[in-house]
Amino acid sequence: METGTRLNKYLSSHGHCSRREADRAIEAGAVRINGRIAVLGDLVCEGDMVELHGQKVDPQAKPRAVYLLFNKPEGVTSTTDRAVRGNVLDVLRYPERIFTVGRLDKDSRGLLLLTNDGDSVNKILRAGNAHPKEYWVQVRRPISDEELETMARGVPMLGTRTLPCRIERISPRAYKVILVQGLNRQIRRMAEYVGHEVSILERKRIMHLTDKGLPLGAWRELTDAEVGQLLEAVKHSDGGPTERVEGPRPKDFLQPGPGYRGQRFRR
């Protein structure tokens, strides 16, 4: 029986893209193995030559593992696709190849993880691993305790039902919600189910990572302790974390972009 590394995992572990992005590139015919166009599910064995968009992937190249925390403002799209106006890379101007871990709506703000370690860190957002994410939500009119309790118990959405979650009131029009899943526009759809429209949505925490000391529009690299805790949380997931490669660290940008004015969150 032939053994090897799945092609999408091979590309992500070498820092070229996430597994999902690798699958899209494979489907588009942009990946070759030993000269032939690759297909989904292909394995890469020792000695194989892999090309992505016509560029050879160096099998020995293991980039320094990068983990960034970005406090995304509204209006920035959670993608590293340069063809999309207002993409994350244009805002961060980070000198190395990175990609987003999960998404945050363009009209939402708050914490977003970025990395070149596509083999392990994507697992942190899987609902089955129960990794919490905390959001602060403001709606356009006062919301009742009954409506908050209805959302907390779970509501039908996208052919399924949201998992029970923790919701705490902040003010008559604002509340905090902690989720372990991430359905498409879940928080906005939950509010719509009980007859409310979200005016401000801000992600304040991803697991142990918070926005403390990180202004909107700013980013920083995770500390060694934060990375260790992150990798510990995913070590039993399928595939396990990749080995962290150390190297020079670019300067963190801890100040928001010039002239940024976001909506104020009202208590």
Q: What are the residue numbers of the active site? A: 105
Q: What is d(CA 179, CA 181) in angstroms, rounded to the nearest whole number?
A: 6
Q: Provide φ and ψ at 33, rounded to 5°.
A: -120, 120
> At 232, which helix (H) or strand (E)?
helix 224-234
Nearest to 59 by CA among 130, 110, 134, 5: 5
Q: What is d(CA 107, CA 30) in angstroms, rounded to the nearest whole number?
A: 32
Q: DSSP letters of 96-162? A: S--EEES---TT-EEEEEEES-TTTGGGGG-GGGT--EEEEEEESS---HHHHHHHHH--EETTEEP
Two structure tokens written together for 151: 């959302």
Tokens 């406090």 correspond to what residue? 71
79 neighbors 100 (Cβ within 8 angstroms): yes
Nearest to 100 by CA among 85, 81, 84: 81
